Amino acid sequence: MATRETPFVMPGNSSCAGCGAVLIARLVTEAIGPNQIMVIPACCMGAVATSFPKATFNVPVLRTAFASTASFLTGLEASAKAKGQDVTLVGFAGDGATVDIGLAALSGAIERGHSFVYVCYDNEGYMNTGFQRSGSTPRGAQTSTTPGGVLSRYKTEVRKDIAKIVAAHGIPYLATASPAYPADLRRKVERAVAVKGPAFLHIMSPCPLGWGFPSAQSVQLARTAVESGLWKLYELDHGVLRLSLAPKKRKAVREFFAPQSRFAHLTNDVYEGLQAEVDGEWATIEKEGFSLRCETARA
Ligand X SMILES: Cc1ncc(C[n+]2csc(CCOP(=O)(O)OP(=O)(O)O)c2C)c(N)n1
Residues contributing to the site for ligand X (CB under 6 A): 21, 42-44, 66, 94-97, 123, 125-129, 134
Q: State which residue, 14 or 284, has the beta carbon closest to another protein.
A: 14
Q: Which of 123, 224, 244, 260 binds Mg ion (CB under 5 A)?
A: 123
Instruction: Verify binding: residue 44, ligand SF4, rule CB under 6 A.
Output: yes
Q: Which does 71 bind (CB under 5 to 8 A by kind): another protein, ligand SF4, Mg ion, none?
A: another protein
Q: Which of 59, 90, 106, 127 binds ligand SF4 (CB under 6 A)?
A: 127
Residue closest to Mg ion when measured from CB atoms: 94
Distances (CA, A) of 180 to 26, 28, 139, 202, 225: 13, 13, 23, 14, 10
Instruction: Verify binding: residue 209, ligand SF4, rule CB under 6 A.
Output: yes
Q: How far is the CB of 208 from ligand SF4 (least distance, A)?
A: 5
| The Cα angle at residue 253 between residues 298 and 136, in degrees rounded to 5 | 50
| Per rule CB under 5 A, count of chain residues that contact Mg ion | 4
Q: Which does 263 bind (CB under 5 to 8 A by kind): ligand SF4, ligand X, another protein, none?
A: none
Q: Which does 66 bind (CB under 5 to 8 A by kind): ligand SF4, ligand X, Mg ion, none?
A: ligand X
- Phi then psi for 265, rounded to 5 degrees? -85, -5
Q: State which residue, 9 or 127, has the beta carbon closest to ligand SF4.
A: 127
Q: Which residues pair with 87 in a beta bridge?
A: none
DSSP alpha helix (H) spans, the chain: 20-32, 44-49, 69-83, 95, 103-112, 162-167, 182-194, 218-227, 254-257, 268-288
| Per rule CB under 6 A, count of chain residues that contact ligand SF4 | 11
The one-letter code for the residue type at 268 is N
Instruction: Verify binding: residue 219, ligand SF4, rule CB under 6 A.
Output: no
Q: State which residue, 123 or 228, has the beta carbon closest to ligand X.
A: 123
Q: State which residue, 37 or 120, has the beta carbon closest to ligand X.
A: 120
Query: Three-state SS for 149?
Result: coil
DSSP codes, 199-266: EEEEEE---IIIII--GGGHHHHHHHHHHTTSS--EEEETTEEEES---SSPPPTHHHHTT-GGGTT-
Tell me the C-alpha distance between 113 and 235, whole Å.
18
Burial string for 195-218 (b: 16+ CB within 10 Å, else e) reads: eeebbbbbbbbbbbbbbebeeebb
Distances (CA, A) of 178 to 144, 183, 256: 25, 10, 14
Instruction: Verify binding: residue 143, Mg ion, rule CB under 5 A.
Output: no
Q: How far is the CB of 158 from another protein (least distance, A)?
A: 26
Q: How far is the CB of 253 from ligand X (least distance, A)?
A: 23
In Å, how far from its chain's centre is CA 189? 13
Q: How far is the CB of 242 from another protein (least distance, A)?
A: 23
Q: State which residue, 16 or 241, has the beta carbon closest to ligand SF4.
A: 16
Instruction: Verify binding: residue 15, ligand SF4, rule CB under 6 A.
Output: yes
Instruction: Verify binding: residue 96, ligand SF4, rule CB under 6 A.
Output: no
Q: Which residues bind Mg ion (CB under 5 A)?
A: 94-95, 123, 127
